[in-house]
């Protein structure tokens, strides 16, 4: 026979406009969800998860039932986010504790996905049960970051697991013996990011009423900045199992160190006979339950290794630097090539000089370097086709010369803006070559050229 007493508090905080946290307190089920996502997404995600969890657990109040309820909650959030574009990308954390009956007696099943937390106060000592599913915590678990560094790590808010992101999710689950006098805390990161563990422990030990304790914790978080929504559910085992005779298991307090829990490490291998993958309690699991370690998680392999990038080794760094050098050099070459390519074409109905390749090259669009006064309609018809697709020239000077010569054809001696200076069109001037004609037959170019007085007809005809 186990009797629980609980109290909770939630607050929007001092910065956010909306409280996207949600909590649940029934006689046997307690939960905190911290929703995230734009618009109404966070609120909807947290509410959907809590409602689904409550309904699922009420149908099957067992450890398996609680884990299944988390899976259903995940699916419900995912489905809503998928079907409603305004809710797309929403998600939520979920930490919950459910009182269940097993053959061995009453148990408290605790489940977690995300970075809301479950703590336990046992004989005046606070220990953290859950492991955050955050990038920072994954680095701590692998010994690449200290707990202190994780507290200020820029990626501490980036979750590696949340409800509603994928159709399936890994769930960490613990099965604990509810010892009389034990106290549990479920809370969102709005509390733990603002208030350090010692202060939380102090409040939980000093304030006997669970609701008062929850309210005090929220007040502390607001006093420390209240940068996020804050939610705390405090749960007391008023009547429960007596303490075992033997001295308290050292792991009860060691559980405060996140490396112990290996929430993902407790993942059972895929097992067809146990599709939910949850809580197959054997003797060793029983022992783990006593120690407050996770007994099992669900069937999927932990995503941490897949999703968290390895820290950079020297070899990787050298490789990346070399690769970067090669890429940089290649990109430089591409730019050199593009920057040294010119063509004459049409821009806003006028003849213009472009730098770059016609139609662009590797995503680098050509840019107009000079626009002439010559309009498209002025251009003699044999040149119009070529100009509209672009006439490539070997250099900028050659492109200027082309435009100057076109200017001569249409009677505009200085078609280009300063500082470009067209050479005085004198017969025989080496710069005054006639633009190459698209049709390039003498008769086709002959006509327009012949119409121009003072045009370099001589050179052309002499050739
Ligand atoms: Mn939060």
> What pTM was computed for the model?
0.57
Q: How far is the CA of 190 from the centre of ligand 1 (A)?
A: 5
pLDDT for 144 equals 87
What number of other Cβ atoms are within 10 A of residue 327's Cβ? 10
Distance CA 203, CA 176 (A): 23
Return the bridge partners of 97, or none: 30, 110
Distance CA 433, CA 54 (A): 86
Q: How far is the CA of 449 from the centre of ligand 1 (A)?
A: 77
Q: How far is the CA of 50 from the centre of ligand 1 (A)?
A: 15
Closest CA to 137 of 122, 126, 151, 127: 151
Q: How far is the CA of 75 from the centre of ligand 1 (A)?
A: 21
* Residue 376 pLDDT exceeds 60: yes
* Residue 457 pLDDT exceeds 50: no
Comparing 158-172, 344-358, 434-448, the range with the smallest average pLDDT is 434-448
Task: List the structure tokens of 25.
Answer: 């307190």
Distance CA 72, CA 96 (A): 14
pLDDT tens readout for residues 249-283: 444 333 333 322 333 333 332 333 333 333 333 33
Q: How far is the CA of 162 from the centre of ligand 1 (A)?
A: 12
Q: How far is the CA of 157 from the centre of ligand 1 (A)?
A: 9
pLDDT tens readout for residues 69-99: 999 999 999 999 999 989 998 999 999 999 9
Q: How far is the CA of 57 from the centre of ligand 1 (A)?
A: 24
Q: How far is the CA of 16 from the centre of ligand 1 (A)?
A: 10
Q: How far is the CA of 192 from the centre of ligand 1 (A)?
A: 9
Q: How far is the CA of 189 from the centre of ligand 1 (A)?
A: 5
What number of other Cβ atoms are within 10 A of residue 256's Cβ? 18
Evaluate whether 235 touches 30 at the Cβ level (below 8 Å): yes
Secondary structure (H, E, C), 233-294: EEEEEEECECCCCCCCCCHHHHCCCHHHCCCCCCECCCCCCCCCCCCCCCHHHHHHHHHCCE
Distance CA 270, CA 290 (A): 25
Q: How far is the CA of 301 from the centre of ligand 1 (A)?
A: 26
Q: How far is the CA of 156 from the centre of ligand 1 (A)?
A: 11
Evaluate whether 80 touches 295 at the Cβ level (below 8 Å): no
Q: How far is the CA of 67 from the centre of ligand 1 (A)?
A: 22
Q: How far is the CA of 54 from the centre of ligand 1 (A)?
A: 21
Distance CA 77, CA 87 (A): 10
pLDDT for 152 equals 79
Could you give the residue ranges of the DSSP H alpha helices within 84-146? 135-141
Q: How far is the CA of 257 from the centre of ligand 1 (A)?
A: 22
Q: How far is the CA of 105 from the centre of ligand 1 (A)?
A: 35
Closest CA to 170 of 44, 54, 307, 46: 307
Q: How far is the CA of 442 from the centre of ligand 1 (A)?
A: 78
pLDDT for 435 equals 52
pLDDT for 309 equals 42
Distance CA 306, CA 166 (A): 15
* Residue 431 pLDDT exceeds 50: no
Q: How far is the CA of 116 from the centre of ligand 1 (A)?
A: 8
∠ CA 286-292-296 to the nearest 5 degrees?
60
Distance CA 335, CA 330 (A): 9
Task: List the structure tokens of 258.
Answer: 């996140």
Q: How far is the CA of 187 from the centre of ligand 1 (A)?
A: 9
Evaluate whether 185 touches 202 at the Cβ level (below 8 Å): no
pLDDT for 241 equals 83
Closest CA to 303 of 261, 259, 264: 264
Q: How far is the CA of 227 from the centre of ligand 1 (A)?
A: 9
Q: How far is the CA of 433 from the centre of ligand 1 (A)?
A: 73
Phi, psi for residue 193 in degrees, rounded to 5 = -75, -20
Q: How far is the CA of 126 from the centre of ligand 1 (A)?
A: 21
Q: How far is the CA of 42 from the centre of ligand 1 (A)?
A: 10
- The pLDDT mean for the chain works out to 79
Q: How far is the CA of 279 from the centre of ligand 1 (A)?
A: 28
Q: How far is the CA of 276 from the centre of ligand 1 (A)?
A: 28
Task: List the structure tokens of 108.
Answer: 């408290």
Per the model's pLDDT, the better-predicted residue between 153 and 223 turns out to be: 223
Q: How far is the CA of 439 from the centre of ligand 1 (A)?
A: 71
pLDDT for 292 equals 52
pLDDT tens readout for residues 298-342: 433 333 333 334 456 777 788 888 888 898 899 888 888 888 899
Q: How far is the CA of 107 from the centre of ligand 1 (A)?
A: 28
Q: How far is the CA of 231 from the centre of ligand 1 (A)?
A: 9
Q: Which residues of 416-431 are buried (b: 16+ CB within 10 A; e: fewer)?
A: beeebebeebeeeeeb
pLDDT band at 245 (very low <50, low <70, confident <90, very high): low
pLDDT for 30 equals 98
Q: How far is the CA of 52 from the centre of ligand 1 (A)?
A: 20
Distance CA 116, CA 187 (A): 6
Q: How far is the CA of 188 from the centre of ligand 1 (A)?
A: 6
Give the helix/strand (H/E) hosting 398.
Answer: helix 396-410
Q: How far is the CA of 312 from the centre of ligand 1 (A)?
A: 30
∠ CA 141-145-151 to the nearest 5 degrees?
95
Q: How far is the CA of 103 from the centre of ligand 1 (A)?
A: 37
- The contacts of residue 83 (CB under 8 Å, 6+ apart) are none
């Amino acid at each position: 026979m186990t009797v629980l007493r609980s109290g909770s508090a939630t607050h929007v905080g001092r910065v956010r406009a909306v409280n996207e946290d949600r909590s649940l307190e029934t006689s046997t089920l307690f939960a905190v969800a911290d929703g995230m996502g734009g618009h109404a997404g966070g609120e909807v995600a947290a509410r959907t998860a809590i409602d689904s969890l409550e309904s699922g657990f009420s149908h099957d109040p067992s450890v398996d039932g609680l884990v299944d309820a988390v899976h259903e909650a995940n699916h419900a959030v995912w489905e809503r986010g998928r079907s409603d574009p305004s809710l797309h990308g929403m998600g939520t954390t979920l930490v919950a504790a459910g009182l269940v009956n097993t053959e061995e007696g009453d148990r408290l099943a605790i489940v977690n996905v995300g970075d809301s937390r479950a703590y336990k106060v046992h004989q005046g000592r606070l220990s953290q049960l859950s492991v955050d599913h955050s990038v920072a915590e994954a680095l701590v678990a692998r010994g690449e970051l200290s707990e202190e560094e994780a507290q200020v790590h820029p990626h501490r808010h980036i979750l590696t697991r949340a409800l509603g992101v994928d159709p399936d999710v890994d769930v960490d689950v613990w099965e604990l013996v509810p010892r009389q006098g034990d106290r549990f805390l479920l809370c969102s990161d709005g509390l733990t990011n603002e208030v350090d563990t010692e202060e939380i422990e102090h409040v939980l030990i000093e304030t006997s009423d669970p609701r008062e304790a929850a309210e005090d914790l929220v007040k502390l978080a607001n006093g420390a900045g209240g940068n996020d929504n804050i939610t705390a559910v405090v749960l007391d085992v008023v009547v429960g199992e007596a303490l075992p005779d033997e001295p308290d298991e050292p792991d009860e307090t060691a559980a405060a160190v996140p490396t112990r829990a290996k929430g993902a490490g407790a993942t059972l291998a895929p097992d067809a006979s146990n599709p939910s993958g949850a809580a197959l309690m054997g003797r060793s699991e029983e022992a783990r339950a006593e120690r407050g370690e996770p007994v099992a998680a669900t069937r999927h392999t932990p995503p941490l290794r897949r999703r968290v990038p390895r820290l950079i080794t020297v070899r990787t760094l050298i490789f990346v630097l070399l690769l970067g050098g090669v890429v940089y050099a290649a990109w430089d070459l591409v730019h050199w090539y593009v920057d040294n390519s010119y063509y004459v074409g049409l821009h806003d109905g006028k003849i213009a000089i472009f730098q770059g390749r016609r139609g662009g090259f590797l995503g680098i669009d050509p840019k107009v370097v000079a626009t002439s006064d010559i309009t498209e309609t002025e251009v003699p018809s044999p040149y119009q086709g070529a100009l509209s697709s672009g006439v490539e020239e070997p250099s900028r000077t050659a492109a200027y010369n082309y435009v100057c010569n076109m200017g001569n054809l249409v009677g505009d001696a200085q078609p280009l803006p300063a500082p470009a200076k067209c050479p005085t069109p004198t017969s025989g001037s080496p710069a005054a070559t006639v633009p190459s004609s698209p049709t390039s037959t003498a008769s086709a170019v002959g006509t327009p050229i012949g119409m121009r007085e003072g045009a370099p007809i001589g050179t052309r005809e002499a050739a």
